[in-house]
Amino acid sequence: MSTLQATSVHDSSRPEATGPGSAGTVRRRVLLAPITVTPSKPLTPSHLKGLLWTDVMYRATGRLADVTYRYSPTTYHLTEQTLGFWEYLDRTVGDADYSGLSEERIGEMYVGHRAEGRRVGAAALRPYAEAVEHHGWVHPASVRVLELWAAHYRQLGMHDPGLLAHQPPGLGLEEVIDRLGALAMCLDQRVYGGPVFLDATRYGLPLRQLVDAQGQPNYLACALRELVPLAPRFDEIVLLYDRELESDYLLLERVLSAFGATVRRVTLGRVPIDGQIRSARHGDWHDHTAAALLGKAAAEYEEEVLRLGMRLYFIAVLGPGQQQSFDHDVLRHSLTRAARLLSGGRDTDPAPLPDVMARHRGDHLYVNPYRLTSSLLAKHRPAPTPDLLTAVYL
């Protein structure tokens, strides 16, 4: 998404969908909307897992449908989590040059911010929010983090959805509150000095605050600003998110459905480190950051092996759950298996790519990354063709 319009994977050089599950030359429209990562810390194994799942889903589904990959850091800069960090940096570090810092060093500053335990008032955050909304401004620390992430995307061969682009949401906060009110799904107590709630209680879901009494929106409010105007334009919306956010995404599904969307939720477990699920806000990354993992793998393996091996490990080996802790040895084994797959030597699947992709979706339009990637490792199936690996994994 290098512009306001999200990028479609389909172009004129790619064949129209044919085979099982397709509709000839009529391509369905899919919106892929994964949870965003706050640009304040290094990417961890849990982040890599979500990003690689999304990338494979995007590229594979693009053989069967027109896919829009919506990932806008701009939309979520307005949360207290981000604005509060920027205010903390300016208050404690001052006018610093972040251009040469590592994401780990900036992440240490973020850990310091969270450890401070201070919630800054809306008045202190308002200049930052206005700079984002009206001028597309991003704090230099987050710009540096996004630049480093973009380099990881390039090394992994992932589609960059516009990490450094200004991509504002389609609705203002007041507009989305008005639309929720028209559906009787909003409890607005601002006239009494209170917050704004999303009200889906008639569906058996609890009240959820969207805007606090000081006017500060949360992540869910920002997601609604982005996705509500997009909902009617697509045949299917796919939401990918952490298991810990299940309650918010149930609400998001309900709202988008009320606006006419068909919503699919894909829940992913985080990756434990030594048996524990750790939040990046607490630091303690050691040798588990994306930079560390990619640097170590790049020193031993060629680029194509690295790209395929990382996807084999984070998608097929770890799976959608969170039972398995991160294991350097198992990752290395996945890289070795990737090298074998790329070396050939086995009969390949003769089916056209759209037919191969269509095998790995059920009653939905998107291709299931776990089913597709796991099939690459099956011993008694034909080997993946070079076209499949290039189109989806390399």
Extents of the domains making up the chain? 7-169+205-341
Q: Is the dihedral of CA 383, 385, 388, 393 positive or negative?
A: positive
Please count the other Cβ atoms lying within 10 Å of the Cβ belonging to residue 354. 18
Query: 6: pLDDT confidence band, cut at 50, 70 and 90?
Result: very low
User: Which pLDDT value is given to residue 14?
Assistant: 33
Q: Using the Cα atoms of residue 43, residue 144, residue 80 and residue 70 in order, give the sign of their dihedral.
A: negative
* Residue 328 Cα distances to 289, 342, 346, angstroms: 12, 21, 28
Q: Encode pLDDT of 309-353 as tens digits.
A: 999 999 999 999 999 999 999 999 999 999 999 987 667 778 888
Cβ atoms of 384 and 341 closer than 8 Å? yes
Q: What are the residues whose beta carbons fall under 8 Å from the beta carbon of 321, sequence distance 6 or more?
A: 269
* Amino acid 18: pLDDT: 36
Fold of 7-169+205-341: Rossmann fold (3.40.50)
- pLDDT score, position 344: 75
Burial 100-127 (b: 16+ CB within 10 A, else e): ebebbebbbbbbebbeeeeebeeeebee
pLDDT of residue 17: 37
Stronger pLDDT, 22 or 25, i.e. the higher one: 25
Lowest model confidence (mean pLDDT) among 2-6, 287-291, 326-330:
2-6
pLDDT for 283 equals: 61
Query: Quick check: 85 pLDDT over 90?
Result: yes
Q: Which of 110, 354, 78 is nearest to 223 (CA)?
A: 78
* pTM value surpassing 0.75: yes
The predicted-structure confidence for 210-260, as pLDDT tens digits, reads as follows 999 999 999 999 999 999 999 999 999 999 999 999 999 999 999 999 999
Burial 159-180 (b: 16+ CB within 10 A, else e): bbbbbbbebbbebebeebbebb
More confident residue, 16 or 326: 326
